[in-house]
Structure 1
Amino acid sequence: MSRMFTQYFGLKFNPFGKEIDINDVYESSDLKELSSRFKYIQSARGIFMVIGEPGTGKSTALRKFASDMNPGLYKTCYFTLSTVTVMDFYRGLLTSLGEIPSCKKVTMFSQIQQSIRSLYYEQRITPVIILDEVQMLSNSIFEDLRLLFNFNMDSENPFILILSGQTQLRNKLQLSINAPLRQRIAIKHVMQGLKKEELPEYLFSRLKAESLLFNLVNRERL
């Protein structure tokens, strides 16, 4: 299908594919607003929630945010979630932090907190933990999230935790059982996607990127 599309319009590459170079991302008003909130959470730290329907640009925005981070000051851990058990979640989170998971939940809990403390207090690096597709998580994992990211009786935030998911995430967090976690979310953003009036500029930017990419590839072949 993609090949037919590019041939029909005389394109050498699909300019609307998800493999887009992060430097070529079109900065819509929605993305600009999200970027300003990302900057705020960088200084304030804590929990940030991003919600949006499929195709509104959540994953692209997260990629851009992660790429803009100074690796000397931030350690980005990106963890895409599917339907997982509590133990799977702990193991995945530890692996993304660069740790070797223990066999016991209570030990893994301590490992996660100690890893975050070590990064922030000893290495002066803020861990940025990005959990994508969070709407898949069970309520038991939401409760564990609240406990995992509670430091010094909830008086310190030696981390940035980004919860990203579809609109079902907002409904889940409205449940009374998840109220403690919901109250700890410092900032929220709901992705709106492109506005109608932004489409011409968006299309131009993507076609321009396709042309530049084609020229670059041809130059490398010569």
Structure 2
Amino acid sequence: MTTTFKDLRSRFGFHTTPFTREIAVKDRFPLGQFDEVVEALLHTLEARMSCALIAPAGTGKTSVLRTVISKLPEARYRTHYVKVTGLSKRDMCREIAQAIGLPPAGSYPSLIRKLQDRFHETSDSTGLRPVLILDEAQDLRPDTLAMLKILTNFDMDSKLVLSILLAGQPKLRDLLRRDDLEDVARRLAHYATLRTLTRDEVHAYLDHRCTVAGAASVPFDSGAIDALFEIGRGNLRATDQLARKSLEVAHQHDRDACSAAEVAQARKLLWP
């Protein structure tokens, strides 16, 4: 039997396909650690300072960034998002220039000047506070990361103009601990971290995601919930993938709820 998401939704009482990345900020799982991290990052940015979000893959970093962006009023902030790779200083400047609407051409020194001028203009002429979010920052080259101390230096370091939010995996912390990046690390006024979910939090997360998708009950028995925690280890991304695949397996077997057996089979199908 061929599984269709429409049939799957009908069987389990979902209005939308559950456990996908397509979830609105307002429907984000309400968890204390997320809320604390969001508030701390917002507080730092509101003070015109820079900060870092360091989190293992799949623990909700992107969700936190989306929430932070949604809570920065467009009437007060001009937010720019750049997903970085191992680029040279000049190429990184070109990526940032493109993100803020500048022609991405010129030498490294001229690009730095153009970027600073634009951020200064945004702050002085429009009254908007520029915020630059650099995602996957663990992939920044050390010399490129060091460039940020120049990019945030205005009027001989006497004026706070640009706030930078570095977001990345734990490798970013190791990078910032390098002696040659001490100046950059000291420019960050706050470091936020995320952890994996506990067993009880995974249970609550499954209930929340099923409710948001329209189900009146959670189609996982207690054994399935335990298996989702043990296999997924509280990682949000892994839990989403396992839960969605487990529902597909249960549907294919004409079952109205998932047991540990479906979760185990889903694990084999996802990660052979």
Q: Into which bin does the TM-score normalised by the smaller protein fall?
A: 0.7 to 0.9
Cross-structure match for 1:22:
25
**1:155 match: secondary structure:** coil
Give matches, 1:50-61, under 5 Å. Answer: 50-61=53-64
Q: Is the 8 A contact 2:80 2:99 kept in 1?
A: yes
**1:211 match: secondary structure:** coil
The reply to whether residue 206 of structure 1 matches residue 209 of structure 2 is yes
Cross-structure match for 1:181:
184
C-alpha displacement of 1:3: 5.7
Which consecutive unaligned segments of at least 5 residues does structure 2 have?
216-272
1:72-92 Cα deviation digits (max 9, x unpaired)? 111110101122222220111
The reply to whether residue 36 of structure 1 matches residue 39 of structure 2 is yes
Q: Is the 8 A contact 1:30 1:193 kept in 2?
A: no
C-alpha displacement of 1:208: 1.2
Tell which deviates more after alignment, 123-132 or 154-163: 154-163
Percent identity over paired residues: 25
Tell which deviates more after alignment, 12-21 or 89-98: 12-21
1:162-210 Cα deviation digits (max 9, x unpaired)? 0000000000111101111011111111111323322232222211111
Tell which deviates more after alignment, 48-57 or 193-202: 193-202
Cross-structure match for 1:169:
172
The reply to whether residue 67 of structure 1 matches residue 65 of structure 2 is no
C-alpha displacement of 1:156: 2.0
Q: Is the 8 A contact 1:30 1:194 kept in 2?
A: no
TM-score (norm 1): 0.88
TM-score (norm 2): 0.72
1:129-163 Cα deviation digits (max 9, x unpaired)? 10000010111101111111111222222122100
Give matches, 1:119-158, under 5 Å. Answer: 119-158=122-161
The one-letter code sitting in structure 2 at the alignment partner of 1:7 is L
Larger RCO of the pair (alpha carbons < 8 Å, separation 6+): 1
Superposition RMSD in Å: 2.1
C-alpha displacement of 1:122: 1.3
The one-letter code sitting in structure 2 at the alignment partner of 1:149 is T
**1:114 match: secondary structure:** helix
Cross-structure match for 2:96:
93
Query: Counterparts of 1:178 and 1:50 in 2: how far apart (Å)?
Result: 17
Query: Counterparts of 1:113 and 1:57 in 2: how far apart (Å)?
Result: 31
Highest Rg: 1 or 2? 2
